[in-house]
Structures are given as C-alpha cells and as structure tokens.
Structure 1
Amino acid sequence: MKTFLISTQILYLLCTVPWLLIWGVSFMGFDQGISFFNVALVILIGVYPLVVVVCSIIAWVLRKRRQRMSVIVNLVPMLWVLGIGLPVLLLQF
C-alpha cells in the first residue's frame, strides 16, 4: 500500500512540470475574449496541484483504516493526468 501511494504521488509530482506549461498555454484561450468555457478550462487545469495535495493527504490518513477508499482517493488526480496529459501527448505524435 505504501509503495502504491508513494509511486503514484511521484508520478503526480513529475506531471507538475508539463502541467505548468499546459496551464500557461491555457491562458491563450482568452485571446478571442472571455467566455464561460475559457474560464472553466483554465480553472479546471489550474486546480490540479491543489487536488494532488488534498487527495494525497486524505489518502495517507485513510491508509490504515480504509485501504480501498485510500486507493480511490489517491487516483482522483489521475483524471487530470489521463484527461489532459494523454491528449496532449497524442497530439505531439
């Protein structure tokens, strides 16, 4: 259990470098003006580090008592990694 939590959190930490670039580029959406979609996209991308920290803390607290819930909570940031990172990676190929 400890190994899983540590390895996924190292992956999340490594994903913060490309996240910073993607977050910076997401502000280009405002070039055509401010719309609900643009604001929602920047906020959705921008909360990734906050979600990682909060989910990591909760997962470590739940580690002893509720292992299954700990794994589920720890995998929540994976939605950002796969949902944003995978399409960006595929666009480069």
Structure 2
Amino acid sequence: MKAFFISSQILYVLCLAPWFLIWGISFMGFDSGFSWFAVALTGGIGLYPIAVIVCSILAWRNRIKRKRAAVIFNLVPMLWIALVVVPVVAINL
C-alpha cells in the first residue's frame, strides 16, 4: 500500500510540469471574450495541484484504518490526468 501511494504521488508531481503549460494555455479560452465555459475550464484545470495536496493528505491519514477510502482519495487526482490524456491520445489517433 505504501509503495502504491508513493509511486502514484510521484506521478502526480511529475504531471505538474505539463499541467503548468496546459493551465497557461487554458487562459486562451478568454480570447473571444468572457464565457462560463472558459471560467469552468480554467478553474477545473487550476484545481489540480490543490486536489493533489488535499487528496494526498487524506490518503495518508486514512491508510491504516480505512484502506479502501485511502485508495479512493489517492486516485482522485488521476481523474485530472485521465481527462487530459484521453482526449490528447484520441486526437492523435
């Protein structure tokens, strides 16, 4: 369990470099003016580091007594990674 947490959180930290680029590009959604979609997109992408920190803390605190909850908390940031990787792979196919 400890190895799973450490390896997944290393992956999350490694994803911060491309996240910064994607977050910067997300502001281009405002090029055509203000829209709620652009706000939601930029906000959703901007929440990734906060989700990593909060979910990592919750996972480590629950790892002994509530193992299933700890695994679920630890996998929440993977949703952000999947929501970026899946469309990129689909576009490139």
Q: TM-score range by the shorter chain?
A: over 0.9
TM-score, with length taken from structure 2: 0.94
Matches for 1:9-48 after TM superposition, within 5 Å: 9-48=9-48
Instruction: Specify every segment of 5 or more residues in structure 2 that has no aligned partner in the other structure, as ranges.
Output: none
Which has the higher relative contact order, 1 or 2, with Cα contacts under 8 A spaced 6 or more apart?
Answer: 1
Q: Which runs of 4+ in 1 moved over 4 A?
A: none
Q: CA offset at residue 91 of structure 1?
A: 3.5
Q: Please list the CA deviations of residues 23-69 of structure 1 after superposition, one character each: whole Å capped at 9, or x if unmatched.
A: 00000010000100000000000000000000000000001111111
Instruction: Report the AA paired with residue 25 of structure 1.
Output: I
Aligned pair 1:74/2:74, yes or no? Answer: yes
User: Secondary structure at the residue paired with 2:31?
Assistant: helix
Taking a change above 3 Å as real, the CA distance of residues 53 and 66 of structure 1, as seen in their structure-2 partners, is same
Aligned residues: CA RMSD: 1.1
Alignment of 1:57-68 (within 5 A): 57-68=57-68
